[in-house]
Amino acid sequence: MTSQPVNKECRVALAGLGGVGRATATLLLSRRERYRALFGVDVHLVAACGSRAGVASAEGLEAEDLDHLEEGQTGPAFIATSGADVLIEAGPSDFRTGGPGLPYLRDALTTGRDVIVISKGALVHDGAGLSALAQASGSLMKLSGATAAALPTIDLLQYNLAGCEVLAIEGILNATTNFLLDAMIGRGISFDAALKEAQAAGFAETDPRNDVEGWDTACKLLILANFGLDAGLTIEGMQVSGIDRLSEEQINDWRAQGLVPKLIGHLRKDNGTFHAGVEVRALPPSDPLALVTGKNKAVRITTDLMGEVLAMGCGSEPRATAAAALKDFEHILAKRFG
């Protein structure tokens, strides 16, 4: 690290104090010395709030302050008052309404704050609107945390493959369904039994529909396509099916053939038109995607000039998502202070 003189300041606010939000705050605060050394910037967490309570400090919060929230200290105006330069949005995701993150993001982008988006709801519900606000105000909008987090996905489209035309995307983007399919094909247990196991282990939600019906995968693919390829997808325009209706017969059939079923979010560009959907595909074992087991995720991108690039990976949550969001933060620091 090259030491830089510190004469600059970056004030960060956090909306969303669930596991990922708190992990992000802790990691951010633990890296303040790094930000000073690398970018010459003093980073302060000036506000943090959940849905009903929050805490702010112009001098910057410490990790323990997040245990002492004040009721009513929340909402876009609370964040605006904090004077934050960067908003990290980590609220619950609801793609049908945009979720609680939507008003925070709209306000931040309208007033020229940079944003790091971790929840998917607002990006799916009104991605075009948010992009327009960002463009008008000059805000940066980063969204690794909303697109498979530690696995590089949106980065691949926006950075690593710059200049190439993307012809197709296939992704295993949802860990819960991948874990369930593994159990079904590997151990021959039913969908219901696998789901109960995963729920008992705290690894599937009580209401698992968002995952098992394919919507979570669809949302991630849509965000990738719209923000990475300007594809203009809508969730209604995607053919989405999940793993909840697979019969044991079908599973046994695939097993007998040596095939490995995976829930694949897929996109194809034909003559300039994008076609996208989510479905279970039975892959031959020679396909690297067939080796993406358990909580791993993967994406394969086919391009005109760089051939196929496949990325797979997995980190322990919530720290991996926090680390992905703060990777975005470093790219903002590099752009604003580099």
Tokens encoding 67: 């245990």
Q: How far is the CB of 59 from its own copies (least distance, A)?
A: 24
Q: Which residues, in sequence order, are CB contacts of 306 under 8 Å at separation 6+?
A: 161, 164
Q: How far is the CB of 311 from its own copies (least distance, A)?
A: 5
The residue range among 108-116, 198-206, 232-240, 330-338 that interacts with its own copies, by the rule CB under 8 A, is: 330-338
Interaction of residue 9 with its own copies, rule CB under 8 A: no
Q: Which is nearer to its own copies, 138 or 236 (CB)?
A: 138
Please identify which residue in 72, 132, 136, 159 interacts with its own copies, judged by CB under 8 A.
159
Please identify which residue in 138, 163, 202, 272 interacts with its own copies, judged by CB under 8 A.
163
Positions in 208-267 near its own copies (CB under 8 A): none
Interaction of residue 61 with its own copies, rule CB under 8 A: no
Interaction of residue 37 with its own copies, rule CB under 8 A: no
Q: Are 78 and 47 in contact (CB under 8 A)?
A: yes
**Amino acid at position 260, single letter:** V
**DSSP codes, 196-230:** HHHHHTT-S-SS-HHHHTSHHHHHHHHHHHHHHH-
Q: Which is nearer to its own copies, 90 or 240 (CB)?
A: 90
Interaction of residue 44 with its own copies, rule CB under 8 A: no
Please identify which residue in 4, 27, 51, 110 interacts with its own copies, judged by CB under 8 A.
27
Interaction of residue 164 with its own copies, rule CB under 8 A: yes
Cα–Cα distances in angstroms (integers) from residue 304 to residues 163, 164, 185, 188, 272, in the given order:
10, 6, 35, 40, 13
Q: Which of these, 325, 317, 320, lies nearest to 203 by C-alpha position?
A: 317
Instruction: Tell me if residue 152 falls in helix, strand or coil.
Output: coil
Q: How far is the CB of 328 from its own copies (least distance, A)?
A: 9
Interaction of residue 160 with its own copies, rule CB under 8 A: yes
Q: How far is the CB of 315 from its own copies (least distance, A)?
A: 3
Tell me the backbone φ, ψ of residue 43, rounded to 5 degrees. -100, 125
Positions in 256-315 near its own copies (CB under 8 A): 286-288, 291-292, 303, 305-315
Instruction: Tell me if residue 28 falls in helix, strand or coil.
Output: helix
Q: Which of these, 297, 318, 300, 310, lies nearest to 181 by C-alpha position?
A: 297
Q: In whole angstroms, what is the distance from residue 61 CA to residue 22 CA?
A: 13
**Contact residues for its own copies (CB under 8 A)?**
2, 27, 31, 34, 135, 150-152, 155-156, 159-164, 286-288, 291-292, 303, 305-316, 319-320, 322-324, 326-327, 329-331, 335, 338
